[in-house]
A and B are shown apart, each in its own frame.
Chain A
Amino acid sequence: MGPKSTDDTRRFADMVAAKQDWELNPDAEFTDSLVEGLTTNWNRYGYFLCPCRDSDGSRETDADLICPCAYSKADVEEHGHCYCALYLRRGFAASGGVPGGIPDRRFS
């Protein structure tokens, strides 16, 4: 499989958001940097490792961190956004919510 461009990754993120009924973070600069980070991770590891998590070294051990990560649904539900804040609960930003750092559910 060839390298991905940021446009490819943006299409992937849009698709995930649509499927889960989430929305992408409306902070364009922040979201662009995450899309870039996801693209870097795809081209580095061969899968969309969460841009805010580090790889343990293999796809198997990183499986729960592949975007959308295994913790994203619970985080969106509880905090209004996923760990890296790429995906937001629909209406979270419109109602004044501002994504911030949240605990990594992987450790809980």
Chain B
Amino acid sequence: MTPGPCGVALRAATAGGRTAGDLPKLDLGNTIYAKETEPMLEALNYTPVNGEKSSPLVTVYALSTCGFCKRAMTFLQNHGFAYRYVYMDQIPVETKNECKRELKETFKVDVAFPFATVGDSEYLVGFIEPDWKKTLGV
């Protein structure tokens, strides 16, 4: 990682990880840098909950006001899942909307709450208990 101007973190376009073609390029003289745009979802402050089953990684996007969100997290705890959660109504609306956009783009689905990601590619939307049982294998 190379420090850039104005405190912006820059990564040389040839650095490993993401392909430079995905990133907006800044021309700083002789070197082309790519501005690192981390997904907003990665920047959220998740609360971890311990459980004996720590794989797959389960992340719950919830509303602090929602009864089914509470039920979904109780379900995870009752079945011994470790998970992490974030209350989307307690973060700035712009951040929340960007996170919803990222989730929608990744999973190609309208985001309602609770919304859970299971591992890298599976998701659950709303608390429909048979769906959660099936996806989580309980």
Interface residues on B, range: 20 to 34
Is the C-beta of B31 less than 8 angstroms from some C-beta in chain A? no
Q: Report how many residues on chain A are interfacial, defined by Cβ distance under 8 Å.
A: 24
Chain A positions within 8 Å of B63 at CB level: 37, 51-54
The answer, among B67, B70, B96, for a CB contact under 8 Å with A54, is B96
| A26 interface contact, C-beta 8 A | no
Among B65, B67, B88, B89, which residue has its beta carbon within 8 angstroms of that of A85? B67
Chain B residues positioned under 8 Å from A41 (CB to CB)? 65
Chain A residue, CB-CB nearest to B87: A54
Q: Quick check: A37 and B128 within 8 Å, CB to CB? A: no
Total number of residue pairs linking A and B with CB closer than 8 Å: 63
Alpha-carbon distance A85/B67, docked complex (angstroms): 8
Closest to A102 in B: B126
Contact of A107 with B65 in the complex, beta carbons under 8 Å: no
**Given A54-B89, A102-B126, CB of A33 within 8 Å of CB of B67:** yes
Bitwise, B102-114 to A at CB < 8 A (1) or not (0) is: 0000000010110
Tell me whether A14 is interfacial, beta carbon within 8 Å: no
A52 to chain B: closest residue by CB: B66
Instruction: Tell me if A30 counts as interface (CB < 8 A to partner B).
Output: yes
- Does B129 make an interface contact (CB < 8 A)? yes
Q: A103-B126, A104-B112, A107-B110 are in contact. Are A52 and B65 (CB under 8 A)?
A: yes
Among A30, A51, A56, max chain B CB count under 10 A is at: A51
Taking CB atoms, residues of chain B closer than 8 Å to A101 are: 68, 126-129
| Known contacts A54-B88, A54-B89, A54-B113; is-contact A100 B64 (Cβ 8 Å) | no
Name B residues whose Cβ lies closer than 8 Å to a Cβ of A.
63-71, 88-89, 93, 96-97, 110, 112-113, 126-129
Hey, which bits of chain A sit against chain B, CB under 8 A? 30, 33-34, 36-38, 40-41, 44, 51-57, 84-85, 100-104, 107
